[in-house]
Every structure is written in structure tokens, then in C-alpha cells.
Amino acid sequence: IYERDGGMFLRHRDPNSFKLVARRGRELVITHTATVGNYDYAISYIFGLDGGIRVETRLSGIMLVKGTSDTQGMLVAKNIAAPYHQHFFNFRLDLDVDGTANSVHELDAWSPPTPSNENPRGNTIMLDDSEYKFEQEARASVNAKMSRTWMIRGRPSEKTVPATDRS
């Protein structure tokens, strides 16, 4: 667990007074590293000042080689190959942040074909916002033509506590 610089958090110059306000960001990083076979996996949860949470995954290790007479995988020496493979990371998150009155949104940013009526100059970006009420609705396939993020939107609490009653 450590804290690190988070780059520029906010910066604004007032156009009338030319007064500048700037603040550096800070991030809280919680990392877990595990060795599994010939790999070391590091998963970091990064908490920002804006309430955002990012997850970074890192992988290190050594090749798992095999003796072979064919060309399956990447040949690293005569008759020795390292198989081609992929690593997939899945995360299951409890999204009941500050209670259950939240909604989960999948945000897909994409660009219409160029040239088209929607994108004549090739600089249009669209955003699809899908709210999910049930886990089954949130199943999706990877689409490299989109930038996909998720947002948890809090709903105002139905029950408010007057300032004088707070302890």
C-alpha cells in the first residue's frame, strides 16, 4: 500500500483576472502480487481524488518452453518452443457503494464511418450509455473499435438526516 503523485488534478486560469489555480493529484495504490507457476501477477487498485477507481494488471515471469520437432509456438532455440497463449483477467465487483441505490452504466465511445452524414470530417465521437439493471444484461463481447468504460452512478438517498441529528 502506498501513495503516489497523480499528475495534474485540476488547473484553471480565470480569463478575466488571469488568476491561476492548480492542484497536483494523489493516488492511493493497493497492490497484490502472486506467483503462479512460471508467472508473477501483480494487480493494483488505484483510488483517485476524484472518486475514480482503476485497476492495473502486470505480468512478469519466464517462458514455459517445451521440446518440439514442429513449429508450434515461437522457436527460442533448436527444437525448443515457447507456446503462444493469452492471459485473461476477470473481476467481480460489489457495486453496492454507499447502499443499494446505485446504477451501473456501460459507456461505449465510438466513431461513425468517415465520410458519412454523422461524421463528414472524421472527428465525430459518439457515446452509447447503457444502464444495466441485472447482471445478465451486462454480458458483452470485446470490441476493439470502441473505448469501453463503466460508471457507477449513485442515486440520491431517500432518507436524509438533518444536520442537527448527525453524530
DSSP string, 57-123: EEEEE----EE-SS--SEEEETTEEE--------------TTSS-EEEEEEEEE---SSSSS-SSS-
Q: What is the pLDDT of residues 131-160, one digit of tens each?
A: 998 888 888 888 888 899 888 888 766 555
Give residue-wise pLDDT tens across range 50-77.
888 899 999 999 988 888 887 678 888 8
Neighbours of 27 (CB within 10 A): 18
Closest alpha carbon to 63 in 73, 72, 53: 73
As beta bridge partners, residue 58 has 42
Q: Are 110 and 146 in contact (CB under 8 A)?
A: yes
Question: What are the pLDDT digits (tens) for 117-132?
Answer: 999 999 999 999 999 9
What pLDDT, on a 0 to 100 scale, did the predictor assign at position 159?
A: 55
